[in-house]
A and B are shown apart, each in its own frame.
Chain A
Amino acid sequence: MMTSYTKPLPIINDDNRQYWEYCKQHELRMQQCNDCGYIRFPPGIICPRCHSMAAGWVKLSGRGKIYSFVVYRVSYHPSYADDIPYVVAVIQLAEGPRMESDVTGIKVEDLKVDMPVEVYFDDVTDEVSLPKFKAVS
């Protein structure tokens, strides 16, 4: 059943594999610097603030708000043709970092900057779960 998923999957590499492993367990975790406390994203070997290589994976609340968003009114990829119009948003997470994601379960006309959202996980294949967001009232 999962083999029918035709959309592009994340490009998993040695830098981000752990992030996607946590997603598979339905946990939104990002690297937090052990020295200065900065939470960084996307994953990488050094802290861009203090250059420490010591980091742990902090569990995030999954709450945030929409920093900004784009509405696709035309399809740039055949696998998204049936989704038009769809949204890609940049989510401002409560703990500081931002990430791009989908916001679902709301009409695009009703979306607004600063709207509160929370994470859920979409198991798109047996191997990949995508953190996505839904509006909360």
Chain B
Amino acid sequence: MESLKDKAAIVGVGYTPQGKVPGRSSLSFHLEAAKNAISDAGLKIQDVDGLLVQPAMGDPSVTAALVAQYLGVRVRFLSVLDAFGASAGCQAQFAAMAVAHGLANYVVCTYGENARSGVSEYGTALNGGLEYGLFGPAACYAIAARRAMHEFGTGPETWKEIAVAQRRWANLNPRAAMYTRPMTYQDYYDARILVEPFRLLDICQISDSGRAFIVTTAERARDLKKRPVYIMGMGQDHPATNPQQATFLTGPTGAKLSGEQALKMAGITLKAIDACEIYDCFTYTVEVELMDYGFYGRGEGKDFLKAGRLGPGGDFPLNTSGGLLSEAYQMGFTPLTEAIVQLRGEAGDRQLGVPTGTREPEIILVSNNGGVMQTHSTLILRK
């Protein structure tokens, strides 16, 4: 079987206004993001012949055909794809397969939601438990985090490092919700405890916004407007089990197997990774994913994760846009699009390399995680 390594590239990225953007449908965010990605790639509307859509949790009325209709495209590769927070990475993988086999030339992948100002489903139960007062994903992850405190002694003293480091990156990113708001360790400890053991600053923030990217073949990518970002490796692992029965709340999550597969395809080891864009719905999620990717052993996050090395100027740059915690919650699109912007050298004040005193980025690891660690996808991207 021929490997998909380096066969596909990401060639367009589309953002929209984000944060609190009232008065807009989630569909409108899909459309504006797609339009901007098409323009960013230097493509014409008529070039688009593939479309993969992740509908927002709160708005399943946004179908793939509806997005195609409003975009004015006639495609030969079309689907809704929903693996929760792992979707963006999965969309990239399905799109890569499609273009590698000639089923489409340019696949647009979109996301959009208006949950901050419009319809939000984030307070409801993901996997049952409403009758016991189990509302919202934060509480489900808090249960996982509490178990990890018991099993390997993690806790707020480790999670604060993640929160503070990512805020330092956000303070360099004008697009980030927390651009103008620094965070100290004391700010972290002073934050209100919502669902113990999580404080407000352990939890990502819902955003009205949309995001999109475009996948094409490596050959086509070289003729387009922007520097291509190649997909070196990819993997998925979806434990899927109901979280009450889950054996993976303290690892190994889907990061382990999907990461091993992606590294194997890319033909590299973790040493070759210059930066990580890790799905960070909650601080603890980052700790367990990096552990499962193999950056440190079980329970060693408390020694490895220090804001000084994770933030600007550090030797282990993490979530350089500010991530879901401090930039914007756009599911797996937040880490994925940031990796593209960094590898293109378009990240402005937060650009990896000389501007922030870090390694020049050649290869970035992107993780996507969904449900209560029930889905996972990994991408390894390179210049």
Contacts and interface: CB of A to CB of B under 8 A. Distances in A.
A98 B139 CA distance: 17
B227 interface: no
A12 B299 CA distance: 40
A88 B134 contact: yes
A125 to B, nearest CB: 11
B147 A130 contact: no
A77 B194 contact: no
Contacts of A10: 130-131
A21 to B, nearest CB: 15
Contact of B196 (A9, A71, A99): A71
B196 A70 contact: yes
A83 B133 CA distance: 10
A74 to B, nearest CB: 5
A65 to B, nearest CB: 12
Interface residues of A, number: 37
A90 interface: yes
A70 B146 contact: yes
Interface in B192-235: 192-196
B128 interface: yes
Given A42-B128, A97-B245, 15 more contacts: A11-B128, A41-B242, A41-B245, A42-B242, A48-B241, A70-B140, A70-B143, A72-B195, A76-B135, A77-B123, A80-B135, A88-B134, A98-B244, A99-B244, A100-B134
Given A80-B133, A100-B132, A101-B132, A88 B143 contact: yes
Contacts of A100: 128-129, 132, 134, 244
B143 to A, nearest CB: 5
